[in-house]
């Protein structure tokens, strides 16, 4: 049975990605049902091991620091909800959008961007490390669920969107030739870049306030936050502080989404984009904020970088994480027999450093900490 085509939503815009125009999958499969291709891809991601491990991977705060804080899993779910809302208003394919949101951090390391920086440093001379390309490696090679091939055998458009995902923190430097380097991806893939940013900016504020690392007095200096927060206080003059924060975060997400939708719709109309072919032909990013909103959002990002991401307690955990991952990597390189036999068996084919990199990148924060104790604490059971 083929991927479903008749089941695709009938109200999609002409420029939306659709199953019946997909470039298909790398491997032929016989399916049990006729779901649309991107819906099937979404389900495969939700059921894969790498997705479940995101529950114990750092967003800002390491897992053991508190049960309240976002993890890579809850972040991915929030990106999916924001992305789907944007896609619906623009007539885009919600299933492809959701799939890309849920997949965009599958290759992320333990301990957030610190882990990525450490692995990239340690892998110099052996291919480096970049978490978007690692996400593609996860869905193409590292997941082992099918009897006839490695990976999840996702649609080409999903794999392209993963490879071309970019943000302030990550821009793949060497996209694979099969994904049309220099050509913009689908509009669905473009919007994930901004949905990701909307999610982590606003929810990092929430986590930062909850932790006490930042406070409302500091946030008053951020014009976008203060404007929205004052609007909430006018509407609900007797609201308590915690509910006021929740309502402000929610309203701020809405403000950013609305600006993004209005600006993107105007860009699509101005460029005369009516079909998927037009997206590639015009070859311009069409999903972005208005100029004024981009400036105010940049101010918010600078505030988070200076006051939360570089808070001395976050920095302390970053230094610890550098030590944990560096020592694990260097020890495995010197003593590869410490790895499970399944991973040792891959070394001749893929190289010692790459296999070790894959193994560490797949770890959760908790597993990495436990492994460090198993290897270096004399009284810890092995």
- Confidence at residue 66, expressed as pLDDT on a 0 to 100 scale: 55
- Residue 310 vs residues 57, 69, 316, 321, 323: alpha-carbon distances, Å: 19, 17, 10, 15, 18
- Confidence at residue 379, expressed as pLDDT on a 0 to 100 scale: 79
**DSSP secondary structure code for residue 67 in this structure:** S
Query: What is this structure's pTM?
Result: 0.93
- Confidence at residue 112, expressed as pLDDT on a 0 to 100 scale: 87
Q: Long-range contacts: 165-172, Cβ < 8 Å, 24+?
A: 165/100, 165/104, 165/132, 165/135, 165/189, 165/192, 165/193, 165/196, 166/132, 166/193, 167/193, 167/196, 167/197, 168/197, 168/301, 169/113, 170/116, 170/130, 170/131, 170/132, 172/130, 172/132, 172/133
**DSSP secondary structure code for residue 221 in this structure:** T
Q: Show the tokens assigned to 3.
A: 């991927």
Burial, 339: exposed, middle or buried (Cβ in 10 Å; 0-12, 13-18, 19+)?
A: middle
> Start-end ranges of CATH 1.10.3210.10 in the chain?
19-314
Q: Give every residue of the chain whose pLDDT is below 70, as ranges.
A: 1-2, 4-6, 60-68, 167-175
The string of pLDDT tens digits covering residues 5-50 is 557 778 899 999 998 899 999 999 999 888 999 999 999 999 999 9
Those residues with Cβ within 8 angstroms of residue 12's Cβ, 6 or more apart along the chain or in another chain? 18, 91, 92, 93
Asked if the 19-314 domain carries CATH number 1.10.1040.10, the reply is no
């Amino acid at each position: 049975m083929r991927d479903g085509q008749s089941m695709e939503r009938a109200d999609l815009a002409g420029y939306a990605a659709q199953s019946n125009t997909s470039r298909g999958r790398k491997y032929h499969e016989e399916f049990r049902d006729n779901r649309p291709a991107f819906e099937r891809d979404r389900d495969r991601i939700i059921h894969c091991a790498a997705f479940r491990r995101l529950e114990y991977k750092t967003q800002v705060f390491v897992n053991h620091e508190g049960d309240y804080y976002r993890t890579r899993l809850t972040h991915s779910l929030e990106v999916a909800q924001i992305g789907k809302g944007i896609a619906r208003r623009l007539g885009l394919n919600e299933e492809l959008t959701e799939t890309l949101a849920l997949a965009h951090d599958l290759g992320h390391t333990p301990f957030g961007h610190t882990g990525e920086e450490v692995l990239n440093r340690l892998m110099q001379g052996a291919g480096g490390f970049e978490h978007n390309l690692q996400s593609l490696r996860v869905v193409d090679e590292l997941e082992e669920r099918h009897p006839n091939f490695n990976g999840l055998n996702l649609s080409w458009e999903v794999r392209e969107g993963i490879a071309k995902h970019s943000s302030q923190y990550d821009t793949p430097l060497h996209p694979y030739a099969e994904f049309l380097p220099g050509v913009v991806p689908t509009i669905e893939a473009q919007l994930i870049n901004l949905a990701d940013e909307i999610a982590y900016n606003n929810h990092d504020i929430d986590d930062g306030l909850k932790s006490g690392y930042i406070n409302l007095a500091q946030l008053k200096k951020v014009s976008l936050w203060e404007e929205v927060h004052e609007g909430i206080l006018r509407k609900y003059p007797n609201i308590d502080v915690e509910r006021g924060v929740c309502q402000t975060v929610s309203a701020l997400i809405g403000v950013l989404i609305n600006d993004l939708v209005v600006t993107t719709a105007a860009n699509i109309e101005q460029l005369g984009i009516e079909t998927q072919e037009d997206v590639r032909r015009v070859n311009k990013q069409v999903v972005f904020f208005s100029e004024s909103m981009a400036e105010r959002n940049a101010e918010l990002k600078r505030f988070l970088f200076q006051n939360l991401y570089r808070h001395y307690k976050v920095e302390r955990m970053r230094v610890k994480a550098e030590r944990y991952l560096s020592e694990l990597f260097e020890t495995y390189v010197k003593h590869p027999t410490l790895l499970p036999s399944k991973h040792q068996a891959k070394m001749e084919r893929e190289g010692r450093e790459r296999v070790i990199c894959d193994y560490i990148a797949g770890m959760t924060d908790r597993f990495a900490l436990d492994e460090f104790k198993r290897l270096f604490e004399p009284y810890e059971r092995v």
